[in-house]
Amino acid sequence: MSYELIGISVLWLFLYGYLIVASIDYGAGFFAFYARLTKQDHLINRLISRYLSPVWEITNVFLVFFYVGIVGFFPDTAYYYGSALLVPGSIAVILLAIRGSFYAFENYGSKENSVYLFLYGATGLLIPASLSVALTLSEGGFIVEEGGAVTLEYLKLISSPLSWIIVALAIVSVLFISSAFLTFYASRADDQPALKLVRTYALFWGTPTIIAALTAFIYLSQHNERHFQNMMDLWWLLALSVGFFMIAMWLLYTGRRYGLAFICVMLQFFSAFFAYGIGQYPYILDPYITIQSGATQESMGIALVIAFIGGLCLLIPSLILVFKLFLFDADYVKGKK
C-alpha cells in the first residue's frame, strides 16, 4: 500500500475515533444541561462528570491529531480549506475553546454555575453542527478557486438541503451515541434511576438517527452522483450498518446487555463511516484535491507513517490504562474511589 493511502486510512480511523469519543462528550454536555433544566440533574450529572472529568482533554486531542495529520499528509488541504473556512472555522474553534475551558471552570473550579453549564450544553450541539460543514464541503461545489483566490459560496451552502441534512444527522447521531454510551455506563455503575432516564434518551434518539442517515444518502445522490454510486457498490457495508443498528435498538428495548448494545452502535457508525469514506476515494476535496495529487512528498510521508507507528505504541497502552482505571474499574464507576 502506498504511504498516502496508509496516511488517509489512519486519519480516517482517527476521525472515526473522534466521532465516537466526541459524540459521547458533546451529547453528555447537552444531557447534563437538559437534566438541570428539567430538574433531573441529581440523577445523572454525577455519573456524567465521573466519566468525563478524566478524559475531556483526551477527546480534544483526537481532533487536533486528525487536523495536524491531514495538513501534514496533504498540505493542499490547508490551502483550500484554510482559505475558504476562515469564518466558519474560526467560529467552530471559538466554540470549542469556550466549551473546553468552561468545562474545566465548572468541574475543577470552586462553585457550580448554571451559566457555565449552559455554555457547555449549548456548544455541545453547535460544535458537531459546525464541524460537519467540512464534510459537506468535501463533496464539492461549495469551494471555488478563481484567479488564485479560494472562496466559499455561502449562499449556495446555506440553500443546499444536503448541508442541512448533514447538520441534522450530526446532531441526532451525537445524541444517540452519547445516550447509548451513558446507558452502558449507568448500568455498570448499577445506578437504576440514571439508567432509566438515559435509556429513554437512547430509545428516543435511535429512530431520527436512521431516518436522517437515509435522507442524507438520498440528497447525496442528487449532489454528487459519483460518490453516491461508489457507496452503492459498497451496499453490503451499509446493510451491515443497518443490521447493527437494529441489534442495538433491540438490546436497548429489551433492556439487557447494554455493553453489547453500545458496541453495536459503534459498529453501526464504523461501517457507515467507512462506506462513506471509501466512496469518496480518491477525492479529499472534490475536484481540487485527490489523495495522490495532494499528498506530501515521499520522504515526509514515510517519516509521518513511522511517527504514527511510534506514537501509537505509546498511546495505545496509555489509553488502555485510562480505560482500566475509569471505564472498567467497577468501584470507580460506582463512585467508591
Q: What does the binding site for other proteins look like in residue numbers (CB under 8 A)?
A: 53-58, 60-61, 63-65, 67-69, 71-73, 75-76, 78-87, 89-91, 93-94, 96-98, 100-105, 108-111, 148-151, 296-297, 299-300, 303-304, 307, 310-311, 314-315, 318-319, 321-322, 325-326, 332, 337
CB of 134 to other proteins, least distance (A): 11
Q: Which of 23, 17, 20, 212 is nearest to 124 (CA)?
A: 23
Question: Cβ distance 134 to 85 under 8 Å?
Answer: yes
Task: Quote the least distance from Cβ 97 to other proteins, whole Å.
Answer: 4
Any long-range contacts for 213-216 (C-beta under 8 Å, 24+ apart)?
213/169, 213/173, 213/272, 215/165, 215/169, 216/162, 216/165, 216/166, 216/169
Q: How far is the CB of 43 from other proteins (least distance, A)?
A: 22
CB of 90 to other proteins, least distance (A): 5
Identify which of residues 31 and 80 has a Cβ nearer to other proteins in the complex.
Answer: 80
Q: Provide the 10 A C-beta neighbour count for residue 302.
A: 14
- Which residue from 304, 318, 324 is spatially nearest to 11, judged by alpha carbons? 304
Counting every residue, how long is the chain?
337
Pick between residue 91 and residue 263 the one whose CB is nearest to other proteins: 91
Listed in sequence order, the residues at least 6 apart from 294 whose beta carbon sits closer than 8 Å to its beta carbon are 74, 75, 76, 77, 284
The smaller minimum CB distance to other proteins, of residues 211 and 309, is found at: 309
- Pick between residue 181 and residue 245 the one whose CB is nearest to other proteins: 181
Residue 110 per-residue DSSP state: S
Minimum distance from CB of 301 to other proteins (Å)? 9
Q: Is-contact 166 135, C-beta < 8 A? A: yes
Instruction: For other proteins, give the closer residue by CB, 159 or 318.
Output: 318
Residue closer to other proteins by CB (options 152, 168) is: 152
Closer residue to other proteins in complex, CB, 260/312: 312
From the list 223, 233, 217, 211, the residue with the least C-alpha distance to 279 is 233
- Which helix (DSSP H) or strand (DSSP E) does residue 289 occupy? strand 289-290
Cα–Cα distance between 287 and 308 in angstroms, integer? 28
**CA 221 remoteness from chain centre:** 23
Q: Of 71 and 246, which CB lies nearer to other proteins in the complex structure?
A: 71
| Cα-only R_g, the chain | 20
Q: How far is the CB of 296 from other proteins (least distance, A)?
A: 5
Shortest Cβ distance from residue 4 to other proteins (Å)?
Answer: 13
In whole angstroms, how close is the CB of 326 to other proteins at the nearest point? 7
